[in-house]
Structure 1
Amino acid sequence: MHRRSRRRSALLLTAAIAAAAPLLTACGNDAHPGAAAVVGDQRITVAQLENRVDEVREAQRAAVPDDSQYEQVVAKTGTLTRDTLHGMVLDRVLHRAARDAGVTVSRREVEGMRGGLEEQAGGPRQLETAWLQQYGVAPARLDDNLRVQLEAQKLAQSLGTDTSRPEFWQALSDASKKLDIDLNPRYGAWDVQKSGRVDAPAPWLREIAAAEVQQPA
């Protein structure tokens, strides 16, 4: 009897994993295959996400040629893929919120901000290294990141607040709702209220739990 029960349990687990397998590789909506996320009418493909992660890893490797030190850097940034996707989505949310508020950022403003930061850091190379280490931003993406920083600052100013206040984050939450963000379950889910990525239980774990509950004694 025990052998039959264990066999039935194994079959239930196998069926649950098999049924959930498509959810592990597809986006939350089958209409968006190959997408890491869908933000409004824009797709962030898995390939685009992987390219961004590769850019950071290559920059980290160039900055830390020693093998053991590089391994330590990789270990400290083990959530790089999820963090990168979070940033890619949040950039779009922030851009939408800024657009809705009539906020724009000029190239000259980006150059001015970069010049000031380079002076503080001790030079262009030092600034790129600092942004790579602190924020996981590859040198090639530094200007894009500074533009986002300026958008955030100007959006907060337009709202009469700052980026730490609830009013600012409410604007991002409103933009998140308008964009109807859909993350691939392998990367978690998008919390509209927090305007951020959150970890979500794997669908197949829920299937297994349900199968175990239904298993006869």
Structure 2
Amino acid sequence: MHRRRRTALVLSAAIAAAVPFLTACGSGAHPGAAAVVGGQRITVSQLESRVDEVRQAQRAAVPDETQYQQVLASTSSLTRDTLHNMVLDQVLHRAAQDAGVSVTRKEVEQLRSGLEQQAGGAKGLQAAWLQKYGIAPKRLDDNLRLQVEATKLAQVLGTDTAQPAFWKALAKASQELHVDLNPRYGAWDVQKSSRVDAKTPWVREVTSAGTQVSA
């Protein structure tokens, strides 16, 4: 498998359909929260700030208005995908802690260096991560740390990130953290460690000029 795709495996593989073991929180129980992970809130404003970072980077990368509108259309689920990544980051970190895994700055720098060589430089890597995974340039190192953490966790478990043993460790971490999502953003599948769409037909997402609003 191409190395770039391997390093982004955790980020992309869990965005898939799942069925049982869903958890969700109402905005009444956690006002202003997009999600609650380990008793800590990911606020709606924090989520919107992350989405704005990506939209601003996309706007800078695609100045043509027609092409930008096409980018918006192709990334209409950005808000939900961004929340998924924010939650998964904490779940993976908890699983890594449980396994005694830590990541050094040098390991992140080594991964970034190798990927930059493949992408034709720092700008090329930033553009690739923005386009393929919705990661703003300022969050690139944070995401690469996530990839290193996932790889090291899999090694400790004697498996790889595509195998059930790896995702079982993440499921255990999800249970420990009692992940709750605001229903407007879906629900959290504990066994898959993934955000899924909740069956709430009264919730709809409206995308307009790059701003996503749920009502």
TM-score by length of 2: 0.81
Shift of residue 204 of structure 1? Answer: 5.2
TM-score by length of 1: 0.80
Q: Could you list the runs of 5+ residues in structure 1 that have no partner in the other structure?
A: 1-25, 206-217
Cα contact 2:108–2:148 (8 A) shared by 1: yes
Q: How is 1:28-43 mapped onto 2 (pairs within 5 angstroms)? A: 28=26, 30-43=28-41
Q: 1:64 aligns to what?
A: 62
Q: 1:147 aligns to what?
A: 145
Q: 2:160 aligns to what?
A: 162
Q: 1:46 aligns to what?
A: 44
- Normalized per residue, the structure richer in strand is 2
Shift of residue 41 of structure 1? Answer: 2.0
Aligned AA for 2:168?
Q
- Give the whole-Å Cα distance in 2 for the aligned partners of 1:203 and 1:41: 28
- Give the whole-Å Cα distance in 1 for the aligned partners of 2:26 and 2:161: 31
Cα contact 1:27–1:35 (8 A) shared by 2: no
- Give the whole-Å Cα distance in 1 for the aligned partners of 2:95 and 2:200: 31
Structure 1: 4+ residue segments shifted above 3 A: none
- Give the whole-Å Cα distance in 2 for the aligned partners of 1:51 and 1:124: 24
2:36 alignment partner, SS class: strand
Distance 1:27 1:192, change over 3 A: closer
- Give the whole-Å Cα distance in 1 for the aligned partners of 2:96 and 2:141: 17
Shift of residue 32 of structure 1? Answer: 1.5
- Give the whole-Å Cα distance in 1 for the aligned partners of 2:201 and 2:129: 36
Cα contact 2:27–2:33 (8 A) shared by 1: no
Cα contact 1:27–1:34 (8 A) shared by 2: no
Greater relative CO, 1 or 2 (CA 8 Å, sep 6+):
2
Which has the higher Rg, Structure 1 or Structure 2?
A: 1
Q: 1:74 aligns to what?
A: 72
Cα contact 1:35–1:45 (8 A) shared by 2: yes
Number of aligned residue pairs: 180
2:41 alignment partner, SS class: strand
Cα contact 2:84–2:195 (8 A) shared by 1: yes
Identity of aligned residues (%): 73
Cα contact 1:38–1:183 (8 A) shared by 2: yes
Shift of residue 27 of structure 1? Answer: 4.6
RMSD: 1.5
Q: Could you list the runs of 5+ residues in structure 2 that have no partner in the other structure?
A: 1-23, 204-215
